[in-house]
Amino acid sequence: MKRPVLATATALVLATTTLSACGSPGSSAAPPAQAGTGSAVAAGPLPSQPGSITLGSADFPESEILAYLYADAFKAKGVQVKVHANIGERPVYTAALSDGSIGGVVDYSGAMLDYLNHGNPAHTPQDVYTQLQKAASAHGFAVSAYAPAQDVDTITVTRATATKYHLTTIADLQPVASKLALGAPAPFQTVSYGTKALAASYGVKFGRFVALQPSGSITQTALKNGTVDAADIFSTDPSISRDNFVTLTDPKSIFAAENVVPVFKNNALTQPMADAANAVSAQLTTDQLQSLDTAVAGGKDPATVAAAWVAAHGLG
């Protein structure tokens, strides 16, 4: 289903819009969310000229892939685009967005919402997106439509650890977590869905926390070689199937929806950018994102992989 054209910059973030998925936005079989017709407070139309923008990315491969995906679609609309890849973690690239060093970044809805509005209780794709619109507006940002593609945080262990401790859900960790080390990016200790949520919702308190850089395969290697016993690994990570890791289910849903969503500095956005962003988001699924990740993990260049996807989907 086609998403409607975004009429105004303010509409992008202040619309009382209802996004309703025709299936689970996290499922590759689900159609993309459809934007409704709700009213908006308008400050005027987006600039009609393509304009120019620098898109940033976090310091891990999937984020770089996403930056190039949207950048290539922007170029097809006549936008002059630069990609500033591997800026750093969320605090770094959000600061760059605030000061105008970059004009946009492709992020994940739940994590960005928690960063902008810490402790927000929204969990479903639509609720998270609605709250993210409000939080983004308050910070001078705008969000375009979210993709069905999700990449959710997981607590993942090796097959040997799962077998040894009979682990299938996060709850199963409760009796044994004190013996184990958890590896994750440092912010996992402060975000609402991290170690605090593990303790509050499951009574899981790991004996040791090991702060790991999210770039490259540092976390996956640490889990595989036993430096840590459990790790925060994204659900689309190729290592899960490649290394036969076990992702523990999250029955209490401490991890919110993490739909792929472009975030822009308000004054950086033009109508051609909005059109291109929505066109990519309308087609990007979780399975496709995992395939792109796998290709890059196998040695292919993120920009090349992204360009092939954009061309294959008629967006280039």
Within 10 A of 161 (CB to CB), how many other CB atoms are there?
A: 19
Please tell me the distance from the alpha carbon of residue 270 to that of residue 8, in angstroms, as a whole number. 9
In this prediction, residue 44 carries a pLDDT of 52
Give the containing element (helix H, strand E) for 74: helix 61-76
Q: Quick one: 239 and 275 in the same domain? A: no
Q: Which of 248, 269, 292 is where one domain is finished? A: 248
Instruction: Report CA torsion sign: 107, 108, 113, 119.
Output: negative
Residue with tokens 């998270």: 128
What predicted TM-score, i.e. pTM, was given to this entire model? 0.76
Q: Quick one: 224 and 276 in the same domain? A: no
Domain enclosing residue 171, as ranges: 153-248
Q: Is residue 78 part of a domain?
A: yes
CATH number at residue 219: 3.40.190.120
Q: Residue 271 pLDDT > 70, yes or no?
A: yes
pLDDT digits (tens, 9 = 90+) for 130-153: 999 999 999 999 999 999 999 999
pLDDT digits (tens, 9 = 90+) for 180-228: 999 999 999 998 889 999 999 999 999 999 999 877 789 999 999 999 9
Q: Quick one: 178 and 270 in the same domain? A: no
Structure tokens at 129: 């997106």
Q: Quick one: 131 and 219 in the same domain? A: no
Give the pLDDT band of residue 71 (cuts 50, 70, 90). very high
Q: In 3D, which of 252, 287, 254 has the Cα closest to residue 151?
A: 287
In this prediction, residue 192 carries a pLDDT of 86
Number of domains in the chain: 2
Q: Which of 197, 228, 248 is where one domain is finished? A: 248
Q: Quick one: 198 and 217 in the same domain? A: yes
In this prediction, residue 217 carries a pLDDT of 87
Q: Quick one: 53 and 168 in the same domain? A: no
Structure tokens at 175: 């009796």
Q: Which of 227, 248, 269 is where one domain is finished? A: 248
Q: Quick one: 126 and 173 in the same domain? A: no
Q: Is residue 1 part of a domain?
A: no
Q: Quick one: 24 and 145 in the same domain? A: yes
Q: In 3D, which of 158, 174, 166, 164 has the Cα closest to residue 220?
A: 158
In this prediction, residue 219 carries a pLDDT of 95
Q: Is residue 2 part of a domain?
A: no
296: CB partners within 8 A, 6+ apart: 61, 62, 65, 302, 305
Q: Quick one: 28 and 144 in the same domain? A: yes
Please tell me the distance from the alpha carbon of residue 182 to that of residue 232, in angstroms, as a whole number. 8
Alpha carbon of residue 314 to chain centroid: 23
Per-residue burial over 84-115, b = 16 or more CB atoms within 10 Å of its CB, e = otherwise: bbbbbbbeebbebbeeeebbbbbbbbbbbbbb
Q: Quick one: 87 and 107 in the same domain? A: yes
Give the pLDDT band of residue 38 (cuts 50, 70, 90). very low
In this prediction, residue 165 carries a pLDDT of 99
Give the pLDDT band of residue 43 (cuts 50, 70, 90). very low
CATH number at residue 274: 3.40.190.10
Structure tokens at 77: 């609309």
Q: Quick one: 100 and 133 in the same domain? A: yes
Q: Quick one: 15 and 67 in the same domain? A: yes
Residues in the chain, how many?
316
Side chain identity at 96, as an amino acid letter? A
Q: Is residue 48 part of a domain?
A: yes
Q: Is residue 226 part of a domain?
A: yes
In this prediction, residue 7 carries a pLDDT of 32
Task: Read off the pLDDT of each residue in 52-75 and give the average, rounded to a whole number.
Answer: 97
Q: In 3D, which of 231, 229, 245, 221 has the Cα closest to residue 181?
A: 229
The burial class, CB within 10 Å (0-12 / 13-18 / 19+), for 145 is buried
**Pure H helices in 86-238:** 90-99, 109-116, 125-138, 159-165, 195-202, 218-224
Three-state DSSP state, 82: strand
Task: Read off the pLDDT of each residue in 18-32 and give the average, rounded to a whole number.
Answer: 28
